[in-house]
Amino acid sequence: GNSGVGALDTGIGKTLQSIATFKKLERDGLGDEGNGRFLYVCTPSLTGNFASECHKFLNDPRATIDKTDVVTYGEFANRRKANPDYAKDYIAVVFDEAQELKNPTSGQSKAAQTLVHPRKILLTASPMERSPLELYTLAAIANNEDINTPEGTRSVGRSSGTSVRPLVVASWESRMTRW
């Protein structure tokens, strides 16, 4: 699959990256895979942002907007709890503001960890603030690992045989440049 963690500074264009990824997957012939739709998971304050960015950057924004389901993290967790197969049929799943998933024991994080999907993209401006476990949790989610299981707990600190290629782009002023 093509999963990963994008640690991009605020204002770099994480939502635009999502739109570009969706368009590339369509161009690569994956537009009819699964249910033929994309899932964009975000905080409540960003629910209108995806459509706004589509209108700003695409010649035909309706086509992408109409193929994308935008849900909040709370809605995502509730739908996964009610139906464990929810979100498995999407072409790709993007988690914008993925720092919402850094607590591995939260309901939202558990819902993302237990979703096995070949294309999970996590976007955040703050992948690690207090502990390396936060960044590991995001990488584990992208890698389809549930670190709340004995198997997942044992995988902390060692390779599971798969890899996540994190993309880190930061401005000079960013905290991330000091890592």
**Rounded-to-integer distance, Cα 39 and Cα 50, Å:** 11
Instruction: Look at phi and psi of residue 161 and say left if phi exceeds 0, alpha if psi is from -120 to 50, else beta.
Output: left
Rounded mean pLDDT, 14-42: 90
Q: Which amino acid is at 9?
A: D
- Residue 145 half-sphere exposure, CB side, CA atoms within 13 Å? 24
pTM of the full predicted structure?
0.82
- Rg (C-alpha) for the chain, rounded Å, is 16
**Rounded-to-integer distance, Cα 46 and Cα 37, Å:** 19
Q: How confident is the model at residue 139 (pLDDT cuts 50, 70, 90)?
A: confident
